[in-house]
Structures are given as C-alpha cells and as structure tokens.
Amino acid sequence: MPFNILVLSCLAYVAFLFLVAFLAERRAAMGRIGWLRSPMIYTLSLSIYCTAWTFYGAVGYAARSGLEFVTIYLGPTLVFVGWWLLLRKLVVIGRQQRVTSIADLISSRFGKSNLLGVVVTLLAVVAATPYIALQLQSVTLSFGVFASETPEGWALPDRDSTAIWVAGGLALFTILFGTRNLDAKEQHHGVVLAIAVEAVVKLVALLAVGIFVVWGLAGGPAELFERIDASAIADWDLQPGRWAGLIFVSGAAVICLPRMFQVMIVEDGEERHMARASWAFPLYLLLMSLFIIPIAVMGLERMPEGSNPDMFMLTLPLSEGQGTLAMLAFLGGFSSATSMVIVESIALATMVSNHVVMPIWLRLRPKAAMSGDVRRIVILSRRLAIVGVLTLGYMYYRLSGGSAALAAIGLIAFVGVAQVLPVLLGGLYWRGATRLGAVAGLVTGFAVWAYTLYLPSFGPGAALSVAVFEQGLGGIGWLRPQALFGVEGMDPLLHALFWSMVLNTVAFCLVSLFTFPGPVERMQGAAFVNVFDAEAAGPQGWARGRAEPEALLVMTQRILGKEAALAVFAAEARRQGKDGYLPDATPDFVAGLERRLAGSVGAATAHAMISQIVGRATVSVEDLMAVANETAQIMEYSAELESQREELTRTARQLREANEKLTQLSVQKDAFLSQISHELRTPMTSIRAFSEILTEGDLPPEMVANYGRIIHEEAIRLTRLLDDLLDLSVLENGSVQLNLGLANLQQLIDRALASASHTRPERIFVIHRDLPSENLFVRTDADRLVQVFINLISNARKYCDAAAPELKITVRQRAGRVSVDFVDNGSGIPKQSQGIIFEKFARLTDQTRAGGAGLGLAICREVMANLGGTIGYLPGQGGAAFRVTLPLRLEQQAA
C-alpha cells in the first residue's frame, strides 16, 4: 500500500474525528447535551485505558509471557466491579469539589495545598513520558510495518523523523481539540465523543482481526485450542509475585492515571453512569482481551522467526494478503494511540497550568488576578504544556532507543502513577492524613520509583552509571537500584513496585501520625472523608467576605469569559432579588464562585485568587479566632438590639397611654372651658344682678343686707377660685416657697380632720385610725401637707356614696419614706377615670357640686411633687383610696 494513501487515510480519519468533535461541541453549546452525556458514551470514553499498549503491546506481551498480559485488565475489572467501594466516593467528591485533575483532588483534600499539586503534577508528567513514548513508538512501528511491505517503493529513512511528525501532529490535534475553550468545569464534550468513536473503531478492528485469525486462519475454536497447546506459550509460566503485583498495579493505575481520572471523574462523573460502567467497562476490556492469545499464537506460528510480536496485529493480516483488514487494524491502533495522547496531554496540561504555571504567575504578579487576562494565560500555558508533554515523550522515545517491548514501557508508567494511590486512599478514608504526610509519601514513592525503575529503564550507563548499578549509589551495596536493602533476585518491576509502595505508605502514615493539620486541611479532610454524611457541607466559608462584587466580576470574566461570568452574576443577583449584574458578595456566593473557578484553574489557584480579592491570603487559626470573635460581637450586638427593641416597645406603650390621656384631656379642656366660663359667670351674674338692684335703691334694709351678703359670698367664691388657679400655677412652676419644719404626723391629721369636718357637716363619718403608728415626726412643709390631707378628706366626705360612710387612715413608714392611705368605703373611682382625676378641672360627677372647680387633686399632686413625694390612686381597696407618699426628711432642694 502506498505510503501516501496511508498518510492520507490517517489525515482523513483525523479530520473525521475533528468533525465529530466539532459537531458535538456545537450541540453542547446549544444546550442539547442529551445523549452526549449518557452511560454508553461514558463507558466508551473510559476505554482510553486501552491504548496502543493494548492494541499492539498485549499481543506481544502474550507472545512473550503467555496469560500474564491479562493482569493489566483484571485489575481495572476488580476496581470497576467494586465501584461501590471507591469509585463512587471519588465521583461524588469530584462533582462536589469541582475537581479538575488528580493533582487538584489531592491538593484540595490536603487544605488546597499548592505544594502537593506541584508534586502530583510532576509525578504525573514524569510517569506519563514513557507512556506517551510508547504511543509514539507504536505508531512509528506501525508505519514501519507498511513501509517494509514495499521494499523499494518508499522506505522510512529515519524512524525518529516519523516519530517527530507523529508527535507534532498529535500536539496540533490536541491543541485544536482540547484548548479551544476554557470551560467552567473542564469538560470537553467534543473530545469525549471523539474518543468514544475511537473506542468503537479499535474494538471493531481488534475483533475483526481476532475473528479472522480464529475462524479464517486457525479454523475454529476447537482447532485453535489444539494450536495453543502446541504453541510456544502453551505452558504458561505463572510467577505468583508478578501475577498479584500486576493485578494490583493495574487496578491502582486505572484510578490514578491522569487521563482515566479525566474521563472518569472530571468529564462526566455521575453515579448513574458509573453504575452502568461498572459492568460495561469490564465487558469492554474482556472483549479487547478475548482474541489476544489466539492472535499471539497464530503470529508465533505463522510469522518468521525474529519478527516483532508487538506488530502481529498488522503483520499477520498483511502476510495473509488481507490489506483492508490490516488497514482497519492500523486505524484501530492509530485510534488507540491518538485518543490516549490527546486525553493524557489535556489532563497533564490542565494540571501543569493550574498547579505550576498559574501559581507562579500569580506570585510574580500579585495584581494580575485583577488586571491581566487570565484566560489567555491559562490557555497559552496549556498549549505550551501539551507541546512540552509530547516533547518529553518524544525525548524518552529517543533516549530509550525505541526498541523495548511496549508492555514493559507501559508498566514503568503504571508503577509511577500508582504512587498516588496511598495518598488518595488515605485522603478519602482517613481523616488523620496530613499534608506533610502526603508530601513525604509522594516524594518517597516518586524517588524510589525513579531510582529503581524509571532511570534504569534507559539502560545501564545512560541515566545511571554502570557503577551505580553494580555497586549502588556512592558505593553503598544496599542502595543498588535493582536490589534495594540487599534484596536480590527479585523481578526488577516487582522489586520497584514493592519497595516504592511500601516506603511510600510508611512515610505517608508515619509523617501523618506525627504532624498536625492546619484548619483548612482539617475541614477539607472532614468534607472528603464524610462526603456522604453531609453532601452540602462546604469546605470553608468566606464568612468575612469583604469582597467587592465588581472586583469579583472582573476576575471571573478573566477566567470564565465575559458572557459566562455575567450570566453567573446576573443569576445570583436575580436570586437575591436585585436588578442588574452585581449581587451582594455573600459568603455562599463567594464559596460557590470559588468552586466554579476551581473548575477552570484548580482549587489552590482559585482559592488564592479569591483570597486576593477578599483580602485574605490564607486562613490561619488567628483568622478563625477572629471570625469566632466577630460572631460573639454579633451575638452581643443582637442582644443589644433585642433590649433596644424591648425599650422601644415600652416607650411606644407609654406613648400610646400618653396619647390616650392627651386626647381625653383635650376633650376635658373643651368641657372645662365652657365650665370655667360657667363657674366664673355664675357668681359674676349674681353679683351684677344684685348690684344693679342695689343701685336702683328703694329697697327694704333687710333685702339690701341680704343682697349684700349674697354679693359678698359670690365674691368670696370667685376669689377662692382665682386663688386656687393662682396656687396651682405657682406650684406647677415650682417656684413655691416651702416652709420646712418638724411636725408630728398625728397632729397634722388631727388638724386636717378638724378643718375638713366643715365640708358637708351633716354627714356622720366613722374615722378609723391607728394612732401609735401615726406618732412620728416628719420634716416637711406642714401647712402644705395638711392642705393635701384636707383635700383628700373633704373629697371623701363629698363623694363617698355609702350609707354609713367610713374613712380609714393608715400610716406606714418604710425606708425613709412615709405613706399615708386614705380609704373610704364608697363605690370608688371607675377605672377609666382613674387616669385623669389628678388633672386640672377634672370632675367626675356633677351630682354634688360642692364648691371647687376640680382643681383640688391637681393641686394635691403639685404639692406632693414639691414636697418630694407622690400621690396616687390605689385601685382595688373596696372604695376610693389614695396613697400619699412623702420622704421622712425633706432636704432643702438644691434647685
């Protein structure tokens, strides 16, 4: 087959994939996600686990070691079949924390530590290089197979140049696919659909070759079994250590590989999908493995001695003259390689940009979170990272010579990424796992892996000198890279796996036991380990959010893009019931925003950026204490508010009462005005009338005397009224002159009773007194006090409506104050009137208009106020009852 056609079909295939991806992206952009996110697409996208290693390498592996190749698929099968144990938790956490990569997950779990993010990123990038080299090698080899087919037509002059073309093409393709946009949740619908299509292509290709081999070449299953028994790999040489170790490491790798994590958790992690994949993905792996042994057996049987077993997938159909089948197999292998490289480099580029480039850039330009175009920087750094990752892969390919068996290269990568497993499991199930423990474990595992497996893989004398291989590092025997601690004779891969995992786990656990996690770390630990207990519990609140919403918007725009950011903010503003685009920066909103940004730039970076705007670099214990302090202050403040509210309620009640009183008084005032005019007019009218009669003369002398007496009486009445008014106004102004002196209370009451007996002298009052208690001296203005007593006793005489009226006078002394109660046995004063009896001109009835203009009690009140005491009505005493209270010793007022 001409090379041009081969290249052309590759390009056409890539163009087709690109079209698929493009249509999917457009469909997703229009919001019609639908089947783009279905369990089937999810399962197919998981198939990037099967790379060129599976497609080409597995046959070679089977041809070399028999059934051992199957361990690479048994491990993932166990992990997926047991999804309820681990993967489910990973998926839920990934969704809740908006995890963007495995480095992000680890960093997020251990307090959004950027150091851990860098360590995991570094580990992943280094471990991925052999894996990417494997893909380049397989594609180059497969080109080589077709080249050697036509000896003179076109030969590949230089395999390295093929590899470089392949690497460049893949980088371009990945950049076009994976970094076109910066999505809020790092999802690439186009890429996922493209790799789903590739999954179908490689499965169909492998099955087609397998069916051709079993039924076309071997002549049916029964025949095949005989051929297997007769073949070179009939006796399977099972090494128990390798068998168990490889199942373990492949199970670990399927969780920890950056690209598996990308499709499994980041792209479309959902429990529903995971449930389907739990059996569908193992089934896919089974189908992929089903024909490996037959193809290997037939290849060993048919192909000439010394041909590369890794290429049996191509060489077998070609040698049988099945050009079309070979072409299909080639496309299958090409699919396997390209899909792996694309997703792996997208995942690695995300990690590099989020955990290495962005933090450095933010540190160099602290203001950049606000001013620079972060989107541009992120995308640029991802593109450069993709190129960098592929360059590293190419360099590994060149350095390792491109001749090793594919499976051997792949296993080096597997053991490398498996170093993340102890920290991952510890982080998910052990709250005591700390950041420093994780760093210690990862660094130890990484170092041991690099020293015992990765560096030796370049061959003796390349990365490590021959002397180191034979005598150990610095001549120390027990530090030989393939015989650590003097353990010799172990399979090198198993040796590296064993020591790296053991030392990794020990370092992780020990350091965790002896260190103390920071506050954020502890909160994140609880959020991860107890993810099912409280799904909504956020890692930490931005309780002290002093963020300017506008600053947040500006920053979000830089990362999510203008429209997306505005939409997010507008939605939040609507939710808060505000117009426009600027919601309040509530802690909830800021926390949600952080998670959203974390979906684009990683948890640590998002945290750092938000921190810069909110004005808080990290959360320290002091911060937490300040928050607690603030809470206490808020509680105090609210208690204060509460008391203020009560006071206000009280004041309002008082005001209401005052208002009622005022209204009542206003009514009374109107009534009084007419009354006072009446009061003044009645005597005036009599005086005028009688004085007119007197001026006319011609009156008998007794009449004159009588009229004169009437005029005199009326004038006295007028004078008394005016005196009262005058008295009251003097008392009210407080300008009264008090005549202080010692007086015996008993004598005062005697005087008052004697004076008051002139009022309605016809009524017989029974007076109840307790003379001994009255016998005390008070320092006060005796005349004024007697005036009050007279008033009260006269009132009782006037208004008590009992048939046998009684008056009880009680004196009590308590704490320097004396109270005198006057209680009669009448019907008392109705409740609605009790509030106004002390007001001026208040008169309850007109039935006994015995002098006075309703000023008596008002005067009493003013007198008592001047004497430093009070007078009040005592309700519920079985009649009208007044209590006069006055100080035992009245000092001269300062005023």
Partner 1 sequence: MKRPRAPLFLKRGSYRKRRLRDGARMLPILGAILMLLPILWTPGETAKADTATDGIYLFAVWIGLVLVAALLAPGLADDRPGDEGEER
Contacts with partner 1, residue ranges (CB under 8 A):
66-67, 70, 74, 77-85, 225, 228-229, 231, 233-240, 243-244, 247, 271-272, 274-276, 278-280, 282-283, 286, 289-290, 293
Chain-centre distance for alpha carbon 41: 32
C-beta of 22: minimal distance to partner 1 in Å? 32
C-beta of 217: minimal distance to partner 1 in Å? 17
C-beta of 62: minimal distance to partner 1 in Å? 9
C-beta of 819: minimal distance to partner 1 in Å? 54
C-beta of 39: minimal distance to partner 1 in Å? 9
CA-nearest of 598, 593, 524 to 554 is 593
Structure tokens at 103: 């480095």
Q: Cβ distance 46 to 281 under 8 Å?
A: yes
C-beta of 276: minimal distance to partner 1 in Å? 6
Which lies closer to partner 1 via its Cβ, residue 289 or residue 557? 289
The whole-angstrom separation of Cα 237 and Cα 531 is 45
C-beta of 478: minimal distance to partner 1 in Å? 28
Which lies closer to partner 1 via its Cβ, residue 222 or residue 894? 222
Q: How far apart are the first and last CA of the chain?
A: 123
C-beta of 215: minimal distance to partner 1 in Å? 17
Residue 800 amino acid letter: C
Q: C-alpha distances in angstroms, 735 versus 727, 789, 892?
A: 10, 22, 13
Which lies closer to partner 1 via its Cβ, residue 82 or residue 401? 82
Which lies closer to partner 1 via its Cβ, residue 287 or residue 571? 287
The whole-angstrom separation of Cα 210 and Cα 322 is 13
Q: Which residues pair with 742 in a beta bridge?
A: 779
C-beta of 40: minimal distance to partner 1 in Å? 13
Residue 643: DSSP 8-state: H
DSSP string, 333-354: HHHHHHHHHHHHHHHHHHHHII
The whole-angstrom separation of Cα 114 and Cα 640 is 44
What residue spans of 68-156 are helical by DSSP H? 71-81, 87-97, 102-109, 114-149
Structure tokens at 100: 């963007």
Q: Cβ distance 800 to 756 under 8 Å?
A: no
Other Cβ atoms closer than 10 A to 762: 5
Which lies closer to partner 1 via its Cβ, residue 296 or residue 591? 296
Tokens 């994590």 belong to residue: 261
CA-nearest of 171, 162, 119 to 345 is 171
- Maximum distance among all Cα pairs of the chain, rounded to whole angstroms: 174
> CA-CA-CA-CA torsion for 395, 396, 400, 402, nearest 10 degrees?
-80
363 Cβ contact list (under 8 Å, min separation 6): none
CA-nearest of 816, 774, 765 to 792 is 765
Which lies closer to partner 1 via its Cβ, residue 5 or residue 537? 537
C-beta of 529: minimal distance to partner 1 in Å? 16
Which lies closer to partner 1 via its Cβ, residue 82 or residue 486? 82
Which lies closer to partner 1 via its Cβ, residue 69 or residue 361? 69
Residue 269 amino acid letter: G
Residue 160: DSSP 8-state: H
What residue spans of 739-781 are helical by DSSP H? 745-756, 771-774
C-beta of 291: minimal distance to partner 1 in Å? 11
The whole-angstrom separation of Cα 161 and Cα 154 is 14
Which lies closer to partner 1 via its Cβ, residue 66 or residue 518? 66
C-beta of 268: minimal distance to partner 1 in Å? 15
C-beta of 193: minimal distance to partner 1 in Å? 23
Which lies closer to partner 1 via its Cβ, residue 238 or residue 850? 238
Which lies closer to partner 1 via its Cβ, residue 80 or residue 396? 80
C-beta of 335: minimal distance to partner 1 in Å? 24
Which lies closer to partner 1 via its Cβ, residue 271 or residue 584? 271
C-beta of 448: minimal distance to partner 1 in Å? 25
What residue spans of 734-762 are helical by DSSP H? 745-756
Angle between helix 406-417 and helix 435-449 axes, rounded to 10 deg: 160
C-beta of 116: minimal distance to partner 1 in Å? 28
The whole-angstrom separation of Cα 91 and Cα 284 is 21
Which lies closer to partner 1 via its Cβ, residue 177 or residue 291? 291
| Strands across the sheet containing 817-824 | 766-769, 806-814, 817-824, 881-887, 870-873
Which lies closer to partner 1 via its Cβ, residue 284 or residue 446? 284
Which lies closer to partner 1 via its Cβ, residue 66 or residue 441? 66
478 Cβ contact list (under 8 Å, min separation 6): 472, 484, 485, 486
Residue 44 amino acid letter: L
Q: Cβ distance 792 to 761 under 8 Å?
A: no
Which lies closer to partner 1 via its Cβ, residue 273 or residue 355? 273
> CA-CA-CA-CA torsion for 658, 662, 664, 669, nearest 10 degrees?
150
C-beta of 95: minimal distance to partner 1 in Å? 14
DSSP string, 303-327: SPTT--GGGHHHHHHHHTT-HHHHH
C-beta of 328: minimal distance to partner 1 in Å? 24
Task: Write the Ramachandran bin of 492: left for phi over 0, alpha for psi from -120 to 50, otherwise beta.
Answer: alpha
Do strands 806-814 and 766-769 pair parallel, antiparallel, or not at all (unpaired)? parallel
Which lies closer to partner 1 via its Cβ, residue 535 or residue 550? 535
824, containing H or E segment: strand 817-824
Structure tokens at 838: 């002390």
Which lies closer to partner 1 via its Cβ, residue 229 or residue 670? 229
The whole-angstrom separation of Cα 746 and Cα 729 is 30
